[in-house]
Structure 1
Amino acid sequence: MSTAMIPRTLMRVVSWLTLAYLLLPLVVIVGSSLTRSEFLAFPPQGLTLRWYASMLHDGSYIDAFTTSTLLALAATALALVLTIPTALAISRYTFPGRALLSALLMAPLILPHIVLGAALLQFGGYFGLTRSFLSLLIGHTVIVAPFVLRSVLAVITPEQRALEEASADLGADPWTTFLLVVLPDLRPGIVVGAIFAFISSWINVELSIFNTTASLNTIPVKLFNYVQYTIDPTIAAVSGATIVASIAIIALLELTIGLDILPGRKPSN
């Protein structure tokens, strides 16, 4: 092996070891969900799908999964609708309070979500929105919007303005220009921001716990409440199902839009 190859080989070894370290907890969770024992155990003591069946027969888990999915999708969609025009305005125009507006929109990134949850509960009490899906949607939109905003701002360039002017010169109306010129240029930032927004909403506990009820529960809050009283392989099965669902979503995204669409990169042919 030549001297020049040593750093590259060492980097690969370190990368694989790091990846293995990150994947090890997932292997432990999935293995624990397949154990025959009545308690969490790894390596699993025999293999069974009993705990997955137990999860599927408990309607509260299905409801929690459904609520989390709908909530994350709705919050992500609402954040996209609100932040894409905002990002264009902040990046292209100078107006009084521009810096303050940008700082306020980014504030949820540094504010503890438990504080936002308590504030939302108090604020919603004045309008009768406490512990409702709408209350959760408002809170989740607030905490995920900064991810979309930052991602979209990162892909806005001065050259895009020239393309929009060219589109207008060719007779396209503003709406057509936005759909066929602006959005395709912003696509990498939109995709990345939407992924981060969905994940942030899905895993949130701190804000959600203030606004959930027994009949309106998200899966992270349900798991948080469950482990306070019972620790059996059912919780590992729920976590394992979440891991499988995440892998399926990633595969779907790769097949449909391609995950190589990142800011500063072009999709491979």
Structure 2
Amino acid sequence: MIGKVASRLVIFMLFLFLALPLIVLIATSFTEAGYLSFPPEGFTFKWYLEVLRDTSYLDSFAFSFYLALLATAISIVIGVPTAQILARHDFFGKRLIEMFLSSSLLLPQIVFGVALLQFFSYFVAKPQSFWVLTLGHIVLTLPYIIRTCLASFIGLGKSLEEAGQDLGANRIKTFVFITLPLIKPSVIAGGLFAFAISWINVEVTIFLSASNQMALPVKMFNYVQYNVDPMIAAVSALTIYLAFILIVIIDYFVELENIAAN
């Protein structure tokens, strides 16, 4: 009994330690003061309205959303077949390829951003452009798609796919009508992870963005160098709300996948 209470207390304290900075940030975004203060002085939506009135922030939200959506979509198109090949076939260098595809998860993001900038500087006339930035985000998000889908392919086995082919379906029909519906929760969960990673990334984005491109994380990074007021807290709170929504959706689909597996 004492052990259960102690373990729950430790879990609660750990959760509080992780959540407290976010709670402080969100609370600060509602303050009536013109400076960051906690506890907040009064309660107002003024700073959220200021964000909505600032077209530069709205443009940054739109740009980041489009960039993350495009990078995620391309990563899914590339990552799902790649995960299927890695799960279904054994070949020389397979382990090395898996490690290479996961390298962006291991390297510090600042090092990864510099490396991408150096690479594209050698091979691309304009290393800081939208399509180069998109390629950088694809490299960044692709491992999340591959890792989540790879686990599903390994757990799925080959029997259902082979049964579909025995009944006359070709490889494309088997994938579209049998395999894809079965791994759909993993594709959605991996896509949401990829979208979130692309949305919040600063290091790769700041190195590969052109002067006329201002993703939201870069916009916030530049803003806090000259201004520290509750509006930046409101922008940060909006990104937290988005991340929370994504976590709820991911949790739903992961739970759905577990139910389907059982």
TM-score by length of 1: 0.87
**Pairwise CA distance, 1:156:** 2.1
What amino acid is aligned across from residue 266 of structure 1 in structure 2? I
CA distances 1:49-95 after superposition (whole Å, capped 9, x unpaired): 22111111111111111111111111111111111111111222223
2:241 is equivalent to residue 244 of structure 1: yes
- Alignment match of 1:69 (pick from 44, 47, 65): 65
Query: In 2, Cα distance between the equivalents of 1:197 and 1:234?
Result: 27
Structure 1 segments unaligned to the other structure (5+ residues): none
CA distances 1:130-175 after superposition (whole Å, capped 9, x unpaired): 3222111100110111122112222223752111111111222322
CA distances 1:211-253 after superposition (whole Å, capped 9, x unpaired): 2244311111111111111111110010112222333444566
CA distances 1:9-35 after superposition (whole Å, capped 9, x unpaired): 333333233223322212111111111
Query: In 1, Cα distance between the equivalents of 2:151 and 2:254?
Result: 17
- Alignment match of 1:19 (pick from 15, 18, 40): 15
CA distances 1:175-217 after superposition (whole Å, capped 9, x unpaired): 2210122123323432332222122111111111112244311
Which SS does the other structure have where 2:131 is aligned? helix
- Alignment match of 1:78 (pick from 43, 56, 74): 74
Contact (CA 8 Å) 2:104, 2:140: kept in 1 or not? yes
2:259 is equivalent to residue 266 of structure 1: yes
Structure 2 segments unaligned to the other structure (5+ residues): none
Query: In 1, Cα distance between the equivalents of 2:112 and 2:18?
Result: 30
Which SS does the other structure have where 1:48 is aligned? coil
2:153 is equivalent to residue 156 of structure 1: yes
Query: In 2, Cα distance between the equivalents of 1:95 and 1:40?
Result: 57
Aligned-residue CA RMSD (Å): 2.4
Distance 1:246 1:108, change over 3 A: closer
Distance 1:268 1:98, change over 3 A: closer
| Percent identity over paired residues | 41
Which SS does the other structure have where 2:181 is aligned? helix
How many residue pairs match? The answer is 261
2:198 is equivalent to residue 201 of structure 1: yes
Which SS does the other structure have where 2:96 is aligned? helix
Contact (CA 8 Å) 1:116, 1:139: kept in 2 or not? no
Distance 1:158 1:122, change over 3 A: closer
Distance 1:159 1:134, change over 3 A: closer
Distance 1:268 1:157, change over 3 A: closer
Distance 1:258 1:82, change over 3 A: closer
- Structure with the bigger percentage of helix: 2
- Paired position in structure 2 for 1:112: 108
- Paired position in structure 1 for 2:226: 229
Contact (CA 8 Å) 1:80, 1:190: kept in 2 or not? yes
Return 174-183 or 125-134, whichever deviates more: 125-134
CA distances 1:100-129 after superposition (whole Å, capped 9, x unpaired): 322221221222332332333344344334
Which SS does the other structure have where 1:18 is aligned? helix
Return 231-240 or 185-194, whichever deviates more: 185-194
What amino acid is aligned across from residue 29 of structure 2 in structure 1? S
- Paired position in structure 2 for 1:102: 98
Contact (CA 8 Å) 1:87, 1:153: kept in 2 or not? yes
Return 101-110 or 217-226, whichever deviates more: 101-110
- Paired position in structure 2 for 1:10: 6
- Paired position in structure 2 for 1:48: 44
Contact (CA 8 Å) 2:192, 2:250: kept in 1 or not? no
- Alignment match of 1:144 (pick from 110, 128, 141): 141
